[in-house]
Chain A
């Protein structure tokens, strides 16, 4: 029973982890907290659903969806964010992403209505436990790929330079605009995975990612908002904490379980304000 709950928590946590990773990547490489990250993921999940409904095999629809999400992320950065960013403060950007959130949500409801739709599982014949572990594995793989690119490639070097100091990066000949667009694209692609991972259990509807976004913010904060590893670890922790508390803490039950990860975060941040894996700025005193 405990083991089953644990695995189930990991499965849900994988979805939170992927969205948290998307949030952290956007924040770390562009300095923007993207409140619309979850809604973009929801939109991508609808695209996946539409593709599968039209007869495309699941494992073909998935990469196509990820590619579409990537292009959408790039397009949002190029058309909306970049225009607002030049000459606007941080608050304007925050409000812009909240505006995007509302817009995308309304758009999805307009096109697909707010009816609940069943979304296919990636492993339809596997027992629930195995597909949950599979989802956690996918989150781990994505993290590994991100870490590999960021740590060990020329592109990653350029991305880290832009994150550290966009002006100096520009003076070093880096096409900063392209790097930012790429960051948004990558985040949107990873976010799409989150939506696809969670949709089989949550059912597909325009408000599907609203609660997930809260959990993912929680996960990112728990892990340290600038740490990709922290985002994934935080996501899995939040998923497990939520599931276990819902089952074992009698007074929590199904209604209160959304509060559990938040309580956990407050506790962690009181002891370690940077989050579990967050880094202090490297500076000579």
Chain B
């Protein structure tokens, strides 16, 4: 079975242990939503998968071990991580940001304009700001650009850390619709960390992360 298999994942920052043996399964083409309180370890889990935080245990994606690799190498394996805080390059234009997103691909120059056009079908608002520095976009537009840039890599696994943070409720719903459409059309496997419970509606699997451990929401019936 292809997809993501995480077993006994332990991670932390220095002496502080954050994740204590996380088990997570996401099959190819599925959307998994991770819910849970602040400080539960959701962000750390994504960081461990994208190589930003060192972790023990195993995490295999399509049979390839992720742990122990550098973030850029993991990105080139087809795993794109859109973090909470950054994700766009402020001084670079929207177009340059998107072109840069293609750098993780095996052939970074091939089919770039088609992919940019494809990103515009999901986020049409970006098209109007093509030549504008990303730093001058609104918060919501920057979020769309960050996701669009991640899509440019043609990722097989997309990690999204609170994509709707700071968005108005309607904008959040719209973004969820777009994410669902991306999942359907691109067959991109996704792990979405969210506080917004609406996210569960687009999920094939929902997990609850608490105190560095994870539980299957649907199975445990805690939802």
Contacts and interface: CB of A to CB of B under 8 A. Distances in A.
Contact of B136 (A163, A168, A284): A284
Contacts of B135: 281-284
Of the listed residues B50, B92, B100, B104, the one surrounded by the most CB atoms of chain A closer than 10 A to its CB is: B100
A282 B92 CA distance: 9
B71 A157 contact: no
A172 B90 contact: no
Interface in B33-90: 50, 52, 70-72, 75-76, 80-81, 83, 86-90
B220 interface: no
Contacts of B87: 168, 171
B137 interface: yes
Contacts of B136: 282-284
A172 B149 contact: yes
B90 A174 contact: no
B92 A170 contact: no
A173 interface: yes
Interface string A258-285: 0000000000000000000000011110
A158 B81 contact: no
A160 interface: yes
A173 B79 CA distance: 9
Contacts of B138: 284
Contact of B90 (A169, A175, A282): A282
Question: Which residue, B72, B75, B101, B109, has most C-beta atoms of chain A within 10 A?
Answer: B72
A181 to B, nearest CB: 14
A172 B153 contact: yes
Nearest to A173: B104
A168 B103 contact: no
Interface residues of B, number: 33
A173 B72 contact: yes
Interface of A is mostly: helix
Contacts of A161: 89, 92, 96, 100
A165 B103 contact: no
Contact of A165 (B72, B89, B99, B153): B89
B91 interface: yes
A82 interface: no
Contacts of A160: 89, 91-92, 96
A53 B19 CA distance: 64
Given A154-B108, A284-B137, A172 B92 contact: no
A171 B83 contact: yes
A160 B86 CA distance: 15
Contacts of B3: none
Contact of A164 (B92, B105, B153): B92
B12 interface: no
A172 B103 contact: yes
A227 to B, nearest CB: 12
B100 A158 contact: yes
Nearest to A167: B86
Contacts of A176: 72
B91 A170 contact: no
Nearest to B78: A173
Contacts of A282: 90-91, 133, 135-136
Given A167-B86, A171-B83, A172-B101, A157 B72 contact: no
B75 A165 contact: no
B91 A164 contact: yes
Interface in A83-127: none
A170 B72 contact: yes
Nearest to A160: B92
A173 B86 contact: no
B104 A172 contact: yes
A169 B71 CA distance: 10
A169 B99 CA distance: 12
B86 A174 contact: no
16 contacts: A154-B103, A157-B96, A157-B100, A160-B91, A160-B92, A165-B86, A165-B89, A165-B90, A169-B100, A172-B153, A173-B72, A173-B75, A173-B76, A174-B100, A176-B72, A281-B135
Given A157-B99, A283-B136, A284-B137, 15 more contacts: A154-B108, A160-B96, A165-B89, A168-B88, A169-B89, A169-B100, A171-B52, A171-B80, A171-B83, A172-B101, A173-B75, A173-B103, A173-B104, A282-B90, A282-B136
Interface of A: 154, 157-158, 160-161, 163-165, 167-176, 281-284
